[in-house]
Chain A
Amino acid sequence: MIKTKNYDFDAIVVGSGMSGGYAAKEFCEKGYKTLVLDRGKPIEHGNYETEFKPPWEMEFRGKMHSEEIKEKYFIQKKGHGVSDYTKHHFINDLENPYIQGKPYLWTRSSKVGGKSVIWSRQSYRWNKLDFEANQKDGHGIDWPIRYDDLAPWYDYVEPFIGISGSYENLDELPDGQFLPPIPLNVVERQVKASIETNFPGRKMIPARVAHLTEPQPIHLELGRGQCQSRNQCGRGCSWGGYYSSVSGALPAAKRTGNLTLTANAQVQEVLYDSKTGKASGIRYVDTVSGETNIVTARVVFMCASTLGTLQILMNSTSDKYPDGIGNTSGVLGRYIMDHVHGAGANGIMPGHRDSYYKGRNPGGIYIPRFQNIKEQQSDYLRGYGYQGGASRSTRVNAQRANQTGIGKSFKEANREPGSWKFKVTSFGEVLPDFNNRVFLHASNKDQWGMPLLITNVAYGENEAKMKQDMMDSAVAMLKAAGLKNVRGYNKPMAPGRSIHEMGGACMGRDPKTSYLNQWNQSHEVANLFVTDGAAFSSVSCVNPSITFMALTARAVDYADKQLKSGII
């Protein structure tokens, strides 16, 4: 398609991460001249600075300096995945403030590709129940779509992303289009057998992860290759062994010749044209030069990660929309959700001393939700799943130094791999709550002039009860499986820390109570779409990113039809 007259681009996508990358790929492949704006610094696939660094080439052998944490990563370091090897992929907390009305740990990326570069690659479909839960128990807004609306779009995105997994035929965790699973090891098989015998209705399966166990032509032609099970993925992976926007969607978009990608571009506002009643484009600040730019397009896709998207939308004010573009209802910024996280258990499996493995498993195991599926069984609503796995501890860690022993015998004992440990942690579904919200500070701004976001989000009683059960059930299963020294944990944890934030621009049927319609399209501004986690009306208990991508692809397909028929 030739660039639409009077516009700089056909489509603008804000954000180049999990959702934005996919939107860009879809628009570009359909022939639209597409501009992707990302606040992050540029990143080059195949040029990840710490990828091949062994510990002895790191200044402090991979330990982060406490002063550096205090100065730059005081929020990020409290969350997942930040180490000396990966810290440059996380945002500098000092330079990017926000206000915690209530404690909230906002994890953000610092580069193009967003959090798709640093994610843990766990990829599960939602089930039928997930889309019906709000309607059934009355919490939150009823989704305007159901599983069957999305299933074809999972089918569409999964092969491109490349997800390894086993076919299990479970209602609670629908199968997808899988590459071969990463095999369970001997201890995982033993625990699985015990759980499935002692706890009827529960299952333990190989984790479904976005790793290329058997790359297909669709991956190879993009330069992606087989995963080498190094499990150092957060540094970046030149093999493209795991999916990221930088190894997958962005190169696919680029090869069409339709992509323009601008890094260091902090989007501040979606511009509204009162004459047409549509979004006319974007205002952004070049964070290097400080210059303000305006670009126009026929359609705008918001994919700046849930809270990032909301911040921009709320800052997009006009006479018509003083509280944020498309926000006559006042629901923008409401129903912020993050998973319940921070409870589980671990233990030691005696025996199997002569079993070992080659490679570091980047996946592990998954125990799908088993609570409240057919009927309400517990004193809380909805449910959770477990992730984890078994490995033999390497003795090379501080704990090892806690054990006594010196000299030749100590050294020789350290050559034997440690005992088998099995551990699980869990993610659970929170209830959507109107009062959990984010909004903008009236006057405080960041160095580029963007109003600061205030978080006012907290877990409730349902979450506390669920979390207790996450620990208790884990302990029961691990004990039954014959593990020793079983220790359960239930740590206090602020939202955000679960790194799965969603909501704030929820999809719904009624423009009075929701922000988007069933196509991720603003109820009020027809050429404005939100396809990241902000669109979510509830959160299931599975990791969300694959669903972000499925919804994004579906929304682009719809926008394409509307563009072609001249409706937007």
Chain B
Amino acid sequence: MGNLNRREFIAGLAAMLGTAAMTPGLANAVNIGLTFKPSGSNIIFSEQQMMLVARIADIIIPATDTPGAIDAGVHLYIDHIAANWMNKQESNRLLAGIDKIDADAKAKYDSGFLALDNKIQIAIVQALDDNLAQEPAYKMLKTYTVTGYYTSKIGMTVELNYDPIPGPYKEIPLSDVGKAWS
């Protein structure tokens, strides 16, 4: 995403989506330090693709009482994985899939995905998700959103219970900790 820094990017995203879509997580994100620092190597998403991925990730895992996918830098993680970890074939499939979501929105609503109303965006993602097995590109995006979020510092330490040094193994009632270990 060129020279755009994270703060500018988030600010741009907020402007584009309008205040209606400005989740608490998104607002926080402007002030939260990145949990994932790309190693400075390749970057593959265009600005447009980055915004799309961020928005979709945010719909899959929104900020609620805890931070969401954007706060955890999931879009940056997916960019990094696509550029530096996937093979060409996989990353091409992902990029094509992202573009197709946008193209489909244009065909149906006469407007790119990002400019659509919040509710319509969610409905589009919901429809893709209901059809997960038949939507390989979306499925890929979802897989990386989920792994990206739950392996991030936020996902592991804020969203779930992080227990790096548990001590001797023992049984406990779930109510003792309330939620899953990360």
Q: Which residues of B contact A (CB under 8 A)?
A: 35-36, 39, 59-62, 64, 66, 68, 77, 81, 84-85, 87, 122, 125-126, 129-130, 132, 139, 142-143, 145-148, 150-153, 155-156, 159-160, 162-182
Contact = CB atoms under 8 A, between A and B. Distances in A.
A356 B169 contact: no
A407 interface: yes
Contacts of B150: 395-396, 414
Given A358-B172, A410-B61, A415 B166 contact: no
Given A52-B164, A354-B174, 19 more contacts: A54-B164, A55-B151, A59-B84, A60-B85, A62-B151, A65-B85, A183-B170, A183-B171, A227-B168, A230-B165, A356-B173, A356-B176, A357-B171, A358-B166, A360-B166, A395-B180, A396-B147, A404-B130, A407-B60
B170 A359 contact: yes
Contacts of B173: 354-356
Closest 6 CB pairs of A and B: A396-B150, A359-B166, A359-B169, A55-B151, A417-B180, A401-B143
B159 A358 contact: no
A361 B169 contact: yes
B181 A394 contact: yes
A358 B62 contact: no
Interface of A: 52, 54-56, 59-63, 65-67, 182-183, 185-186, 213, 226-230, 353-362, 392, 394-398, 400-402, 404-408, 410-412, 414-418
A416 B180 CA distance: 5
B153 A54 contact: yes
B177 A228 contact: no
A226 B165 CA distance: 11
Of B81, B147, B162, most buried by chain A (CB within 10 Å of CB) is B147
16 contacts: A54-B162, A62-B151, A65-B85, A183-B169, A183-B170, A185-B171, A355-B173, A358-B166, A358-B169, A358-B172, A359-B166, A360-B169, A396-B147, A396-B180, A407-B60, A417-B179
**At the interface, is chain B mostly helix, strand, loop or mixed?**
mixed
Contacts of B152: 56
Contact of A56 (B36, B59, B62): B36
Contacts of B125: 406
Given A56-B152, A407-B59, A355 B171 contact: yes
A513 B32 CA distance: 72
A60 B159 CA distance: 20
**At the interface, is chain A mostly helix, strand, loop or mixed?**
loop
A274 B76 CA distance: 68
A67 B84 CA distance: 10
Contacts of A402: 132, 139, 143
B109 to A, nearest CB: 19
B67 to A, nearest CB: 10
A416 B160 CA distance: 9
Contact of A401 (B77, B146, B165, B180): B146
Given A356-B177, A358-B166, A411-B64, A54 B81 contact: no
Contact of B61 (A61, A411, A418): A411
A356 B172 CA distance: 5
A228 B153 CA distance: 21
A416 B60 CA distance: 17
A526 B66 CA distance: 70
Contact of B59 (A62, A65, A406): A406
Nearest to A400: B146
Nearest to A54: B156
A182 B146 contact: no
A412 B156 CA distance: 14
B10 to A, nearest CB: 19
B175 A56 contact: no
A357 B170 contact: yes
Nearest to B174: A356
Contacts of A186: 171
A356 B163 CA distance: 14
Contact of B153 (A56, A62, A398, A408): A56
B167 A414 contact: no
A400 B180 CA distance: 14
B180 A394 contact: yes
Nearest to B162: A54
Nearest to B153: A56
A505 B182 CA distance: 47
A60 B172 contact: no
A229 B167 contact: yes
